[in-house]
Structure 1
Amino acid sequence: MRIFENYESRVRGYIRAFPVIFEKSYGSILTDTMGKEYIDFFAGAGTLNYGHNNDNVSNAMIEYLKSQGVVHGLDMATKAKERFLESLVYGILEPRNLQYKVQFTGPTGTNAVESALKLARMVKGRSNVVAFTNGYHGLSMGSLGVTGNTFYRDEAHISRSNVSFLPFDGYMGPDINTLDLFRKLLNDNSSGLDLPAAVILETIQAEGGVNVARPEWLAELAEICHEWDILLIVDDIQVGNGRSGDYFSFEESGIKPDLVTLSKAIGGGLPLALMLMRPDLDQWKPGEHTGTFRGNNLAFVAAAENFKYWETNDLSEAVKYKGGVMKEELEKIAAKYPELEANVRGRGMIWGLEIPEKGFTSEVSSLCFEKGLVIELAGADDQVLKFLPPLIIDEETLRKGIGIVDEAIGEILEQKEERLKGEFVC
């Protein structure tokens, strides 16, 4: 690991939690240079919904390259982009009765968020945006402005102006409707809340701790936005692309956002980000918002292959079934160790196991890694173990991975008990 320690920036993060050199990957398994295998409950932070080195995707990309297909095309028309748009429109949007224009932004999720914020402010002629507690939308300046975690929000690199934070669903407890506060602020001319151009949110806050907004809360939020002429932006970068069990995470609520940001899994493991917008909102002048790598043709090829998974309901049903397995097994763990006061929450195939004791989840993640499982943390204090396996993981491997977590928790608690006994004897 010396080359990384000596020459890669201190800003590197995941390498510290998972300190090996990975060499191969396939499906839901990572393999390091020593040949040790790890079950992947991280999936590239949700980028690898369809697994590592998906055969269909790899073969399609190889054939495209062998045919001398265009790799870099800015926003020029290419055959790969044509096929991508046809697959997206006819395979994903139209079956869901969604009418959106598509804008290809820069290659990462934060580029899509920046585009959405910029367009919303331009169209509405207002600058204020409402975001939510525990929200995460990226780390470039505009995206960081609507991201809640103070770890990222240093005065040296953030513009705090023109963003108002409100409590997310459940933030004040299960019996309080946080949208009552939003309505009150909008109706009060002296509240200090400038009429927003847009509201931005994740329907399931992934990095924020796997906080799930209820469908009825989302429906009411959409109603408020419509009533006050506020654009509703859904950030579906991590929990879209099938992660919730539906292709879009907002489908269950029945809402139709004005703008949707997508990235991560849509590129099949390659950089790709885009924004969906209501056709009447497409008010850009040609070239007014641009980027060198907004036309990743290999990612178009990969994405078009992955859209085939949604030609039937098979994957959706599989995600919901395996999500049920995850929920059941995690609730068993929470019940098995009542002293942890653990909380289980999630939807589809994103689940969180929250353990309030400071530092406990870090110990669990580290021991799981030793035992052959890659799992990351979420939440403001890293108090949540975030379960984010590839959607295509088989049930046996899924259960094995959850079993490793159970085993790790048991061993850590046993070690703590032994230490306490030793202290008592002394």
Structure 2
Amino acid sequence: MKNSTKLLILLGVISFIFLGCAKKDRDESSTSSTTTTSTSTSTYTRSNTPAKSTVPIPASLSGTGGASSRTANAEDYSSSAIFYTMIKSLVSMMKGIVSGQDLNLMLADVRISDGYKADSSTCYENQSYSITFTQGMYNALVAMEKEFGGTEGESGSMSASFKQSIGTTIKPPVAYKFEDISAGGYNHQISTGDSCSSLTESYRWNTAKTKLASQFKDTNGTDTFKGTITYDNTTKMSTFQMDMTGSVAMKMYFSYKTCTGMTGDCVIYEFKESYSDPTYGTTLMSAVGKADDAGGYAKATMSMTYNGTNMELQYKEFWQGNGTVTAISTCLASYGGSTTDCTVSSNWTTQGTENSTYDESGGYDSGTTTVAVSGVTADGSYLLIETGKTPSSNPEAVLGFGEIRSGKTEWEFWGPDTSITMDVYLINNDGTYTIQSGASVTLT
């Protein structure tokens, strides 16, 4: 059991090695004209594009919580943690993606205020237009980065890149197109990229500006990352879906919804990840839990096949706001041909002391739409997309994600319109997609 657990920990960490470089930083270009720099602490508020991009992330999910520890001088089991290591890496990666998303939406918001309305026939080239970058815009970037555990001006951050631009007229290094649409429940779309001939990312929202879907794509060496981040201001829920191809094949889904009655920012969440590598085999992780600024909890299952051996590990992890892992409980449900009943408490091994602060009494459903899919039974990761669209040509039309492994089926939908009809595509390990003929999707 000891050796198999070490292997599972290794696989969990390896799957995130490649994620830190998922988004390249873009250098800004500014003109020499300047205005007086304000020292105001007020932040720029978007009014033409959705004002928020995501649900606030609790500080404990980045391990930088400022809330006091619930247990003084608690022993730290971080070196044995599986899920908590992964979720902190995910939050760090999301910070880079969402900061770029916030910057682009803010630039577009300013341009719309300046009179540049929706026009499907017009694309503005990289550095062909100008805006004044204000203290409030900078403060907005800093505030967003802090929500993901960042600090003002840290290396590689958007705030570090744009601090010198406060009060200057800049020519943004982003090409963009703004147009009105009617697709999947969304009414407006901004497409961005390095040039008008390469618009690789998109942002869609509804007329009320309460629902936002941001599609991203980037490369790092031989690896390609692409996916979608959504925010629903009505349900206070966000989703993050990404697949990676290249050195490894990985698919990931993370949904998180605001909860109340806890310390500071609080979310209940669901997490799924599948991973395939020629050396380490295949793994599937599924987790649910709750976290706030002072700490959190995860209940997870990781199953894998390694050198022809099937195994499944169930585990629970408890942590504090400062990143201290106070307890880890594990049960090796299966290994090779042997099985263990993990519903029996004596079959669990616990390091540290569990606590009931984030217990399961209220459940951990993050609030996503119920999805029923028929006609698809094979193991794999899948995308739900507007009927008639393809994930390769129309990534902005992707509205859901699914996972089937060893008879376990889970589907998620993040679109605003549950009356829409959708196709189902298998995500192949080489980054291509295969439509599932005869599949039917029902949303409730």
TM-score of the pair, normalised by structure 1: 0.24
Q: Which has the higher strand share?
A: 2
Q: Which has the higher helix share?
A: 1
Question: Which of 1 and 2 has higher RCO (CA within 8 Å, sep 6+)?
Answer: 1
